[in-house]
Structure 1
Amino acid sequence: MTDEFDFIVVGAGTAGCVLANRLTEDGRFTVLLVEAGGSDRSIWIQMPIGYGRTFFDRRINWMYDTEPVESLGGRRSYWPRGKVIGGSGSINAMVYVRGQPRDFDDWKELGNPGWGWDDVLPYFKKSEDFDWHSAHHGRGGPQHVTDISPYVHPVCHSFVETAQALGFPASSDFNGGKPEGVGYYQINTKGGWRASTANAFLHPARKRRSLTLHTHAHAQRILFEGRRAVGVEYAHKGRVCKAKARREVILSGGAINSPQLLMLSGVGDAQKLKNLGIESVVNTPAVGQNLQDHIAVSYFYKVRTATLNDLLHPMLGKIRAGLRYMADRAGPLSLSVNQSGGFVRSDPRKAYPNLQLYFSPVSYTKTPLSERKLLNPDPFSAFLLSHNPCRPTSRGHLELASSDPQTYPVIHPNYLATQDDIDDVLAGNRLLRQLVQTRPLADIITEELIPGAGVEGDEALLADFRARADTVYHPTSTCMMGPDPTSSVVDARLNVHRTAGLRVIDASVFPTITSGNTNAPTVMVAEKGAAMVLADAK
């Protein structure tokens, strides 16, 4: 080992970029950041709506496929994950949702002290630079959060008014004092550009002499002396490199790559690793288990009013939108298509919101995901309306297919494995139909394109869900946090059980999936994790 650092962080994704910044902030410690992908300096990454182009770009996207899912009729699910500086935060839809306070109180009640809502809120605020003053938000933090409510497409207002007509409350801020209700999403942009953690945290820190970044550096395994992690082996520029960590190795590869690297390094189910010829360092059967993800379905509606399709399908419209974006970083290219939605209870008797809604003023029924090409809006006026259960109870797993680090792991999502999840899906299906039959949405709809008016009743709608539903790209919990070393992977300080000098800090540590998009809580975990690392280093 010729290179030595205080800390080695594996993965320059959403969490890794935060860690690289915070751990080098005061200059006391040196950090090596190892990233399998390359630069994020692409217009398709930095322009907010460009993620439609990166969705199937293997140069910056791992492009995973799951195993066939029985509950989805034997279909595989396509899981795009960022293989680039910024990770999945460089190719996502930028929606900023912290989750419901109850999500984090549940984490604490599951045996993870310090992870309740009151504990984590300061770390959400620490990372944030919000558009306007609010007791619930931060100002002056590294990552900008934009309130897009003044800029959403006008048809989004029809959705919000319709949901209120059905009795759902309005929420002016899903991340504020009243997160339940319908309204407009906030997004991570700044000045019309994507505000990923790469832009917000990593790039400003790259001038520090204490930070070393190696891109196109694929981690092969963690190096151990006994049960202490002492370094990392990685492939870089055609050769195998080794680097030593004087203090800690920190995995931030996300819910797929972090458990994969642990297992490649001998941390996992000892018998399964032995079957692949991997020597066990620590028998931790929970590695790769407890996988959770949100799964959603979209209904598509043709309308008699203009939508984003009318702006972005014609070539002339694309040119006009591009010219406007070049002129002042405004217009539809500066936003996400996920503009409005909400967190609602399908039944008032439920204690908490159980459904997340998305209303997008665009449709792309002519571009099925199986074609693996650029998502392009339909040539007619239409919108899509989606739902997913907020807190699914089904859990899947992933495992190694081989001891070769280049071989993708085998992913089993295990969607809809519980009756609770099926009940929420049925309730969501009914709600979408109820919404589109209510004014003012009902006044502008001319036709239900998908699934179509002929698909009626719970049995048919559930069959349609199984036939079309897919991931919302929120995998979590494969290195689950918890007090029991036999059923979890890391403790409440994110140390890997039964090891020394090794932590996992990313979305894989979530004890349960949060109610909503997972990028913001991943940033929070990284902020809190960095504070723990620094406190323990004193």
Structure 2
Amino acid sequence: MTYDYIIVGAGSAGCILASRLSENGKHTVLVVEAGGNDNSFWFKIPVGYARSYYNPRVNWMYNSEPEAELKGRNIYVPRGKVQGGSGSINAMIFVRGAREDFDDWARAGNPGWTYEEVLPYFRKLETHANGASSWHGGDGPIHITPMRGMTHRITDAFLESCRTLGLPMNADFNGADIEGAGVYDVNTNRGQRSHSSAEYLRPALGRANLTIERNTQVERLTFAVDGRITGIEVRQDGQKRTFIARREVILAAGAVGSPQIMQLSGLGDGDMLKSVGLDVRRHLPAVGRNMQDHLCASYYYRATIPTLNDEFGSLFGQAKLGLQYLLTGKGPFAMSVNQAGGFFRGAEDEAQPNIQLYFNPLSYRIPKDPKAGLKPEPYPGYLICFNSCRPASRGNITITSADPLAAPAIHPNYLSANKDVEEVVQGSRLVRKIAAAAALFSVTAEEVSPGPDLNSDEALIDYFRENSGSIYHLCGTCAMGPDHETSVVDARLKVHGVEGLRIVDASIFPNITAGNINAPTMMVAEKGADLILEDAA
């Protein structure tokens, strides 16, 4: 079958592209999704993401290769395998990133991507609970809910500790400045997850010019004799099918899926492609490189007052919270468990905030056994998690064979840059400084782990190496830039030297943004849709 545009991946970006490219009625659009529908109740309820964490039906459940700087550990890399992509299974923290992040995109040779130029797209995609302003949108599809006023009372102690230490306070991380301590916004609407599948794609599927094919695995791109992309080959229900694109194929399969499809199609580093028996269609050495992620570790504390551990830790407590949610659409079930935090300078001479914190009034450990589920610690507790905002380490993603069903090799190369190791110490010291301030100290019984006996820089780094994990913000693997040797797409998101192919997802980030990356990924999709429609005019 033939369409004007084929979008590969119905994730956070792909759902927006499908809606925007089909809304004028002029173009036929096909969306291809490897997973199924996200119509389950558990995708709608915010706390339901705990059920998706180890669910292979909706999650690719990748693991990295052994990480040399993390004691040889394989790091878990969940990725959404369902309509809505990772936006259907994430924790919904809505952070755009710092102004400098996007100005750096433009400085890297990408005109049109400064903060001032992308701000209209952030505003376009949102309806903020406080209404439209110079910083926020008032009539966009994604609903943004501040958690201020709804957080657990121990969260107030965290914020008060930050205040007494003289740290900046911030009422809106998506406003004029990102720096400071505050309460996060979440993308929810009346207590339900508000993501691009629910708000963009689902309403658009009633259009005659928009088609979706679910449970459909893309195996490779197809080419004309002159090298132009003509469509995709897929496997669906055990059968091979081919779809043709009159105008463009748009990869929106994410930081893992997009470079994987490129490489399977002969687009990537020539030597690597030959090593797995593939013909080289075009030597693009940057495909799969420049991978970035936020690496985090948690500090666990026993509290002297009840926390969410007490409620989530019993069937009675869960039932009580569930009833509250069903009757009012409010309460912990309607929120992210990452309630507060902020962006801080780990040292006085840092030019901008370089450490992000999460304060969580629920302390839990990620089980090694996928069947164990996420369970709170068996005591009243809280945790403080931290990561570098802009890590300098760079990794890569490569296919391991010509088999489209084989998982790619994911090499994050965490802590391979000295700056990232320095920031481990900065973040560790900052966490302890806040926990020791009067307000939080007064409701804390003890630091459970790493524990007060670990206090040297070397011991704290060692703890981080043994206990850190991805915070699931993979990006940069098909980076945007002017040079085909060091980037994959240009500033209009067209693949260098390959006609008929664009990439519109988090893989195009030249550098990772401070904070959670779902919001900037949706911004990229809004802007990318405009670029595509401009070129079609």
TM-score where L is the length of structure 2 = 0.98
Q: Secondary structure at the match of 2:428?
A: helix
Q: What is the aligned partner in structure 2 of residue 104 from structure 1?
A: 102
Q: Does 1:51 align with 2:49?
A: yes
Q: Secondary structure at the match of 1:527?
A: helix
Q: What is the aligned partner in structure 2 of residue 349 from structure 1?
A: 349
Q: What is the Cα deviation at residue 369 of structure 1?
A: 3.7
Letter of the aligned partner of 2:515 in structure 1? G
Q: What is the aligned partner in structure 1 of residue 333 from structure 2?
A: 333
Q: What is the Cα deviation at residue 371 of structure 1?
A: 4.6
Aligned length: 535
Letter of the aligned partner of 2:29 in structure 1? V
On the 8 A contact 2:494/2:502 being kept in 1, the answer is yes
Q: Does 1:506 align with 2:488?
A: no
Q: What is the Cα deviation at residue 370 of structure 1?
A: 4.4
Q: What is the aligned partner in structure 2 of residue 137 from structure 1?
A: 136
The alignment's C-alpha RMSD in Å is 0.9
Q: Secondary structure at the match of 2:255?
A: helix
CA distance in 2, matches of 1:334, 1:98: 21
CA distance in 2, matches of 1:512, 1:18: 22
Q: What is the aligned partner in structure 2 of residue 286 from structure 1?
A: 286
Q: What is the Cα deviation at residue 278 of structure 1?
A: 1.2
On the 8 A contact 2:98/2:177 being kept in 1, the answer is no
Q: What is the aligned partner in structure 2 of residue 477 from structure 1?
A: 476
Q: Does 1:233 align with 2:195?
A: no
**Once the two structures are superposed, what CA deviation does each residue of 1:318-368 show, in whole Å capped at 9, x if it has no partner?**
111111211221111001101100001112322100000000000114x52
Q: What is the aligned partner in structure 1 of residue 415 from structure 2?
A: 416
- Which sits farther off after the overlay, 404-413 or 430-439? 430-439
**Once the two structures are superposed, what CA deviation does each residue of 1:223-278 show, in whole Å capped at 9, x if it has no partner?**
01132111011111221110100000000000000000000001001222122121
**Once the two structures are superposed, what CA deviation does each residue of 1:389-425 show, in whole Å capped at 9, x if it has no partner?**
0000110001111100000000100001111111111
Q: What is the Cα deviation at residue 514 of structure 1?
A: 0.3
CA distance in 1, matches of 2:275, 2:347: 48
Q: What is the Cα deviation at residue 101 of structure 1?
A: 0.3
Q: What is the aligned partner in structure 1 of residue 146 from structure 2?
A: 147
Q: What is the aligned partner in structure 2 of residue 271 from structure 1?
A: 271
CA distance in 2, matches of 1:380, 1:460: 26
Q: Secondary structure at the match of 1:425?
A: helix
**Once the two structures are superposed, what CA deviation does each residue of 1:113-155 show, in whole Å capped at 9, x if it has no partner?**
0000011000000001100133200011011011110111111
- Which sits farther off after the overlay, 266-275 or 113-122? 266-275
CA distance in 1, matches of 2:14, 2:371: 28
Q: What is the Cα deviation at residue 378 of structure 1?
A: 2.2
CA distance in 2, matches of 1:372, 1:301: 26
Letter of the aligned partner of 2:228 in structure 1? R
On the 8 A contact 1:56/1:373 being kept in 2, the answer is no
Residue ranges of structure 1 left out of the alignment (5+ in a row): none
Q: Does 1:30 align with 2:28?
A: yes
CA distance in 2, matches of 1:202, 1:257: 20
CA distance in 1, matches of 2:351, 2:321: 44
CA distance in 2, matches of 1:518, 1:531: 20
Q: Secondary structure at the match of 2:376?
A: coil
CA distance in 2, matches of 1:514, 1:179: 11
Q: Does 1:85 align with 2:80?
A: no
Q: Secondary structure at the match of 1:514?
A: coil
CA distance in 1, matches of 2:443, 2:159: 14
Letter of the aligned partner of 2:245 in structure 1? A
- Judging changes above 3 Å, is the alpha-carbon distance between structure 1 residues 474 and 372 closer, same or farther for their aligned structure 2 residues? farther
CA distance in 2, matches of 1:344, 1:284: 37
CA distance in 1, matches of 2:370, 2:203: 38
CA distance in 2, matches of 1:150, 1:245: 49
Letter of the aligned partner of 1:128 in structure 2? E
Letter of the aligned partner of 2:258 in structure 1? S
Q: 2:68 aligns with which of 67, 70, 73?
A: 70
Q: What is the aligned partner in structure 2 of residue 215 from structure 1?
A: 214
Q: Does 1:161 align with 2:141?
A: no
Q: 1:40 aligns with which of 33, 38, 41?
A: 38
Q: Secondary structure at the match of 2:342?
A: strand
Q: What is the aligned partner in structure 1 of residue 92 from structure 2?
A: 94
Q: Secondary structure at the match of 2:511?
A: coil
Q: Secondary structure at the match of 1:440?
A: helix
CA distance in 2, matches of 1:115, 1:156: 36
- Which sits farther off after the overlay, 494-503 or 444-453? 444-453
On the 8 A contact 1:269/1:284 being kept in 2, the answer is yes
Q: What is the aligned partner in structure 2 of residue 318 from structure 1?
A: 318
Q: What is the aligned partner in structure 2 of residue 359 from structure 1?
A: 359
Residue ranges of structure 2 left out of the alignment (5+ in a row): none
CA distance in 1, matches of 2:124, 2:195: 15
Letter of the aligned partner of 1:129 in structure 2? T
On the 8 A contact 1:62/1:81 being kept in 2, the answer is yes
CA distance in 2, matches of 1:137, 1:348: 31
On the 8 A contact 2:11/2:86 being kept in 1, the answer is yes
**Once the two structures are superposed, what CA deviation does each residue of 1:160-208 show, in whole Å capped at 9, x if it has no partner?**
1101111111100000013210000000100111111100110010100
Q: Secondary structure at the match of 1:96?
A: coil
**Once the two structures are superposed, what CA deviation does each residue of 1:1-45 show, in whole Å capped at 9, x if it has no partner?**
xx0000000000000000000000110101000000001111221
On the 8 A contact 1:168/1:182 being kept in 2, the answer is yes
CA distance in 2, matches of 1:201, 1:491: 26
- Which sits farther off after the overlay, 481-490 or 341-350? 341-350
Q: Secondary structure at the match of 1:83?
A: coil
On the 8 A contact 1:227/1:498 being kept in 2, the answer is no
Letter of the aligned partner of 1:148 in structure 2? M
CA distance in 2, matches of 1:476, 1:120: 18
TM-score where L is the length of structure 1 = 0.98
